[in-house]
Structure 1
Amino acid sequence: MCGIVGIISLSKSLDERKNTLHKMLQAQAHRGPDAQQDWHDATCSLGHNRLSIIDLSEEANQPMHSHCGRYVVVFNGEIYNYIEIKAALQNHFVFKTQSDTEVLLSAYIHWGNSFLDKLNGMFSIAIWDKIEQKLFIARDRFGVKPFYFYKNEEQFVFASEIKTLFAAEVPKLKNDKVWSGYLVNGTYGLPDETFWKNIYQLSPGHFAELSPVNKYDFQPKKWYNFEDRIHTIPQMNANTLKEEYSALLDDAIQLRFRADVPLGMNVSGGLDSSTLIALIHKNLPSKQKIEAFTFYCNDTNYDELPWVNDLLKDKPYHLNKVLLEVNKIPQLIEESCYYQDEPFGGFPTLAYSQLFKSAREKGIKVLLDGQGMDEAWAGYDYYHNNSNSLIQGTKSSPVKPEVLDADFNLLASKEVFPTPFSSKLQNLQYRDIFYTKIPRALRFNDRISMQHGTELREPFLDYRLVELAFAQPDSVKFDNGNTKWMLRQISQQLLGNKIALAPKRALQTPQREWMANELETYVQERISEFSNFDFVNKNQVQKIWEEYKKGNQENSFYLWQWINLSYLR
């Protein structure tokens, strides 16, 4: 887990590229506090911030060169099945390190672009071919690891974070379409978009090749065809599905134990987190230890400590209880806005961030969590109640487009998502996995983990698990009012009926109450700052805020939007 940067340019001098690359590496130094290195030739400059997880030696630092000397790679992420890939390549290469980076580069040399299909992991990759003067870039199936870029006819610049591109003097200009969509519809842009004009993402599951010869123009190609793969997976009877999915669960967990540093896990009282705890307890090698982390707010309406304590009472894992304190919220928001670069989830994201901070303070550099089960098994209520809402937990409108100038309001386009499946439920799941919930959750999580120099691993997003669950019929996912029905059947064997059959609880904080009470003065200051945008109607903002203070507090999402954006000026 690290940070990568690069500049490809014929027009910029070597000294100019070196100076810019140094600024870029410094801008994302938090992503890799263990080592920082760069490499340059007449056209290409590559840099790397390293967070050492596998093979802690200096030989595993990046940029890393191929044995033949032709290729140079920078890579952010982890290839969990690198040991198996290395074994398949053993007769073709003499490996000098124990790192997954060397295996990844060797796999690219041996298999070409098709090597991506063999990788089980999270990754953003850039490989420079010195002979052909060509850059190969790729991103993992679901976009766990980020890849941002800016290009014109003179250069191609990429990085792991948007602020890193600003450090390279890329202009900081609002992408009005995405900003408007966020405020009008609560959306966060399409997979290749960002909140900043001319700064793009390489879409998940895509790769591309580019060079100065074609003026850095490229057409990303889809290497992970989820839709086609789903059509090849059979719908299984209950017993076969339980057996196959359970075996994959064990393997996904075991692969993510591979690390040369201490491990931890983030837990809550929900089914997914409970399943994670049980699977770790079942599969963790006796020589490895792991600590648990959870947050609380000292509010019994929201805290999950009773459930977490109950889950861990017979487990040998020390529970670190991290308190989210209301008086620290303003500082946490300011810090998180800097690291996120774009709007993110509200107070729960702040609380979650504190778990990574606590883990790092204890010397734990890798944490596991339970992200991905709801999307794979159709666990959200709106999958089954004919709601098309992208935002959960509110009956009233979560957004207030009436505070926007009419022209700015019109910039928001209602996004239309592909519907490649005959099942309406599967199409909603597909939307959430590739366009809405998963992309934004992964972005939030990448930033808050890397903010504290820690790595987050999400075993339930192992593509084999997602594909197998997704491919099953609707009746396996929802039965007699029970969401994630088959997962609950599987989990009963690990957890018992009390937890496996419990209703879903959203992970929350007293955000609504704190905004109206302890944080009232702070909220007023921030929404006043938001009102200074030229597309905002100040009077409407103040009117809605006054109504909120008087008790119209069914949801606070729109207030969070205003606060969040006020830091992105």
Structure 2
Amino acid sequence: MCGIVGFNWCDKSLVCQMMESIKNRGPDAEGFYVKDNISFGHQRLSIIDLSENGNQPLTNEDGSIIIIFNGEIYNFNELKHKLQKKHKFKSNTDSEVIVHAYEEYGEDCVKLFNGMFAFAIYDKNKEILFLARDRLGVKPLFYYFLNGKFIFASEIKAIKKSSVQLTIDDTAIYDYFTYRYVPTPKTIFNEIKKLDAATYIVFDLKEKHLKEQKYWSLNVSESTYDEKEVLNTLESLIKDCINIRLISDVPIGLFLSAGLDSSTIFHFLKDNTEINLLHVATNTNEVKLVRRLSYNKAHILEVDSTKEFDEIFKYFDEPFADSSAIPTNLISNAANDNNIKVILTGDGGDELFAGYRHYSQFFTVKKIQKILPKQFKKRLRSLSFKVRISVLSKGFFVLSSNDDLEIYTKLLGGFTRDEKKMIFSKPFLEKLENYDDYWYFRKYWNDQVPLIKNLQILDINTFLKDDILVKVDRMSMKNSVEVRSPFLDYRLFEFILSTKTGIFFKNDTLKYILKLMMRDRLPDYILNMKKKGFGYPIKKVDAQNHPSNLIIDKEYIIRNKKNAFIIGLNCDDYAQKNKKNNLGSKK
């Protein structure tokens, strides 16, 4: 894993400043290219081919193609075998495979890659920049394009080093309270955008024209595979997804929790003595379960839960409200302290196998609504704003709602339109009078497919991409640790979403097909464990240093990301206790 930066003019000093701002992403080596009105910079985290041959920027044989790359291409050896027939390789890196694949297939090269990646290529002959991001959006890429200036980087903070004028996007602030993150392609700044997952950019250096193109999307279908065929294919796929993520020239670890996802990965790796089993001690019961599951082979890592609480917020560059960023930082830090540079995790398992509690909650709400009298629903809506107990308030609200996206928003912990009316100022809301609060969810909502698959597609394209993967990337890269997640292989998502719904999701059982596959392989205490979140007890936060009674102006969230973070975590309680606060007004 690495960090990349670049822009369409020459400035060695600036490119070095940008690189320095994200040095944590790649502290092992650095390199830059400043020539031909192009500036490229790269910070390297050495994982494959630790020699200087793997340093970037890296070129093809005649130097006409130059690349900077962040991520891993897991099928690079397979691709290299084919490309070697026409190209000469000078390293054993996956970066060089991308260069030669681009030479052979042009823009379509991205369709060949199985991995997590964000890269930029300078094609001297065509006078273009070619930038691309992986299918699920595991690796980030931001860009600025205005008045002929094109700037890109792995993180927003690097772009800010260019001193371009930035203005805060009011709709991004509003969206943050809905989604608990700033949704793609927006950032908190009007002028900086996120490149979407499974998307590439072609920037014409001569015409200063930008073309953005989607190259992959998930489709829902219902195959004719029977249960036995599904189980056999799924097991084969999972094994391969794990094995291709074991290619590394540095030690690899597995974060083993007491959950089903990481336990499944552990099962298929239990005979591999080179894998370091790690568990962060945050819960006594989980420690006992992990020791039992791993036959006492797991290293139990003690962490300081108060360590660097304030420090983590600067790594997000914009408001972000997932408290599990805190323990993710702690476990990444523990891995770094134990000299583990690559970690396998179970991320993606909940989206892949339908494991989130809000799926069950959504099903329950729709069932109750079918038998609930309309008159009673109106009373529940009124009660939802009067009840002081947040759980009851949320329950009354979702049962009274006729809008599926409003229900979904509330179940995920976001602010609904009515709640935002209580806390934002009137002038601020007037600017957004005709704004679609749920535009991002609406973009992917499709009630023509089975409900469970609809919810999965929605989560994959929103919550996974803009919350889970952002959290893991920023916190792992903060600690210079690479995270690889076998369940984030696009082949698994394509297979599951093409499987007959009644086979992979039965009797409203979360992760039904995975539990069925692992039934005789994992103990019952793992298979039957109730789904747990990976949050942080935010009440431990010092109220004096992190006040929750907030009145903000247009720039408040940028200046006080810690406070914005806490608001998002406690939106139900916050809406109840702060109905008279005028967020969006001048202080």
Deviates more, 1:246-255 or 1:233-242: 233-242
CA distance in 2, matches of 1:509, 1:173: 32
Instruction: Tell me how far 1:391 sits from its aligned partner.
Output: 5.8
2:147 partner letter? E
Partner of 1:169: 163
TM superposition score normalised by structure 2: 0.82
Matches within 5 A, 1:68-147: 68-147=62-141
From 415, 418, 443, the equivalent of 2:444 is 418
Q: Aligned pair 1:335/2:319, yes or no?
A: no
* Uncovered stretches (5+) of structure 1, i.e. residues with no partner: 537-551
CA distance in 1, matches of 2:577, 2:296: 40
CA distance in 2, matches of 1:80, 1:43: 33
From 338, 359, 372, the equivalent of 1:383 is 359
Instruction: Tell me how far 1:72 sits from its aligned partner.
Output: 0.3
1:308 partner letter? V
Q: Aligned pair 1:344/2:320, yes or no?
A: yes
From 290, 293, 311, the equivalent of 2:279 is 293
Instruction: Tell me how far 1:553 sits from its aligned partner.
Output: 10
Q: Deviations over 1:457-513 (max 9, x none)?
A: 11101111111112223323432342111111012233133322333222233224x
CA distance in 2, matches of 1:252, 1:174: 41
Q: Aligned pair 1:154/2:148, yes or no?
A: yes
Q: Deviations over 1:136-162 (max 9, x none)?
A: 111100110011000113210000000
CA distance in 2, matches of 1:372, 1:559: 35
Measured at CA, do residues 248 and 101 of structure 1 come closer, stay the same or move farther in structure 2, by a change above 3 Å?
A: same
Contact 2:281 2:302 (C-alpha < 8 Å) held by counterparts:
yes
Q: Aligned pair 1:29/2:46, yes or no?
A: no
Q: 4+ residue runs of structure 1 moved beyond 4 angstroms?
A: 391-400, 552-560
Measured at CA, do residues 235 and 46 of structure 1 come closer, stay the same or move farther in structure 2, by a change above 3 Å?
A: farther
From 446, 456, 469, the equivalent of 2:473 is 446
Q: Deviations over 1:246-295 (max 9, x none)?
A: 0111111111111111112223222112212222225x3x4x23131324
Q: Aligned pair 1:279/2:272, yes or no?
A: no
CA distance in 1, matches of 2:5, 2:533: 36
1:247 match: secondary structure: helix
Contact 2:180 2:322 (C-alpha < 8 Å) held by counterparts:
no
Q: Aligned pair 1:5/2:25, yes or no?
A: no
2:213 partner letter? K
Contact 2:322 2:535 (C-alpha < 8 Å) held by counterparts:
no
Partner of 1:257: 246
CA distance in 1, matches of 2:224, 2:523: 26
2:532 match: secondary structure: coil
Instruction: Tell me how far 1:97 sits from its aligned partner.
Output: 0.8
Deviates more, 1:272-281 or 1:140-149: 272-281
Partner of 2:368: none
CA distance in 1, matches of 2:535, 2:427: 35
Partner of 1:179: 173
Contact 1:186 1:391 (C-alpha < 8 Å) held by counterparts:
no
% identity of equivalent residues: 30
Contact 2:170 2:554 (C-alpha < 8 Å) held by counterparts:
no
2:348 partner letter? G
2:342 partner letter? V
Measured at CA, do residues 83 and 553 of structure 1 come closer, stay the same or move farther in structure 2, by a change above 3 Å?
A: closer
Q: Aligned pair 1:226/2:226, yes or no?
A: no
CA distance in 1, matches of 2:266, 2:235: 14
Q: Aligned pair 1:522/2:545, yes or no?
A: yes
Instruction: Tell me how far 1:393 sits from its aligned partner.
Output: 7.2
CA distance in 2, matches of 1:267, 1:235: 35
Q: Deviations over 1:277-333 (max 9, x none)?
A: 222225x3x4x231313241x6x7xx7333333322x263323233424xx4xx41x
CA distance in 1, matches of 2:120, 2:340: 28
2:189 partner letter? W
CA distance in 2, matches of 1:491, 1:43: 56
1:242 match: secondary structure: helix
1:36 match: secondary structure: strand
Q: Aligned pair 1:403/2:423, yes or no?
A: yes
* Uncovered stretches (5+) of structure 2, i.e. residues with no partner: 366-406, 557-569
TM superposition score normalised by structure 1: 0.84
- RMSD, matched Cα: 2.8
Partner of 1:548: none
1:489 partner letter? L
1:115 match: secondary structure: helix
